[in-house]
Amino acid sequence: MPDIAPEPEAVVEAQGYPHLVGDRVERAVGAKVPFVMTPVGTTIRLEGAAALAKGAYDALLGVPTMRRARRLILLTRAELPWLREHGIPTERARIVPGAASDAAFEPAGTGRVLERHGLEDYVVLLGRLGVQKNPVLLVDAFARIAQEFPKLQVALVGPDEGQGSLAIRRARELGVGARVVMTGRVSEEDKFALLAGARCLALPSLWEGMPLTVFEAWAQRCPVVASAVDGVPDTVEEGRTGLLVPRGDAGALADALRTVVREPALARKLGEAGRAQAEQKHRWGPVSLQLEQVYREALAEGPR
């Protein structure tokens, strides 16, 4: 780690967890400038060797680093119990919600984008198509309602990390392969258009901090159907700004998708409520002011 010469009134922030960067940065600069950490990922659920590795990281590096941080920025209150469990002072924690860019709130033209991807009436999953996002479960749920809605499609949007290809294979096995589209990575403009045109954002994740895609969907008045995991229920209010389903439950996910497609008035209500919440809490303007206040607190306390 190169020597870092701090500027006057500087604060250093590290984002993400678990990885080594935050620990190395804190050791390099924590005695010179206040160190702030946004430990996204503390509550992820891992199994087997991965769980053992994270447990070792928590004990040896992650938790000691967070104890030394002058402030911890949490995206949701769901992370507070983990801090208490690991003996990390919660009085240093501040809840600052995530935010979508101003561009996410602009009206998105959908016509050419949907035509390019062969989409018309669809639900969308947006993100890196790996184990976390669980696209295979979405395909399983979709297959349960496919006959009821013969024109409905599924759009898997984002880079394939292995699970996207498995989802396409699963769709073919279930006889709905022609109705599941994997777009690959798309531009920001196309992403907002795909959200604007969708029946809903489907997020059957196995774990989440607080996904940016929820705020981006709300910004486009797109209803959200999501797994009730980690920080999601702290932000998505069941029946008001979205529909929540148990983790890994294809039947419950199918029921929620059916509700959104069958009840367009409810879907519009969910989308409008989401937009209102995003306008109030998840735009960069108000969120940046909250971050500034956290940095000022860290400066006032000084380095360790």
**Each residue of 268-302: pLDDT tens digit?**
999 999 999 999 999 988 899 999 999 999 999 99
Q: Domain extents for the chain?
A: 12-99+284-301, 102-281
**Local structure of 201: helix, strand or coil:** strand
Does domain 102-281 sit in CATH 3.90.870.20?
Answer: no
- Whether the full predicted model's pTM is greater than 0.85, yes or no, is yes
Torsion angle of C-alpha atoms 43, 47, 53, 56, degrees rounded to 10: 60
Q: In a structure prediction context, what are the per-residue pLDDT tens digits for the chain, which is 304 residues long?
A: 445 555 557 888 888 776 777 788 888 887 888 999 998 878 777 778 888 888 888 888 889 999 999 999 999 888 899 999 999 999 999 999 999 999 999 998 888 999 999 999 999 999 999 999 999 999 999 999 999 999 999 999 999 999 999 999 999 999 999 999 999 999 999 999 999 999 999 999 998 878 899 999 999 999 999 999 988 998 999 999 999 999 999 999 999 999 999 999 999 999 999 999 999 999 988 899 999 999 999 999 998 8
Homologous superfamily of domain range 12-99+284-301: Glycogen Phosphorylase B; (3.40.50.2000)
The whole-angstrom separation of Cα 168 and Cα 135 is 9
Name 72's Cβ contacts closer than 8 Å, sequence gap at least 6.
36, 37, 38, 39, 66, 83, 88, 92, 93, 94
Q: Comparing 12-99+284-301 with 102-281, is the CATH topology the same?
A: yes
The whole-angstrom separation of Cα 210 and Cα 235 is 8
For the chain, where are the alpha helices, taking DSSP H only? Answer: 20-29, 48-57, 63-68, 80-85, 111-117, 135-145, 163-173, 188-197, 212-219, 232-235, 250-262, 264-281, 284-301
The whole-angstrom separation of Cα 135 and Cα 157 is 10
Residue 94 sits at the vertex; the CA angle it makes with 90 and 98, to the nearest 5 degrees, is: 135
Pairing of strands 224-227, 243-245: parallel
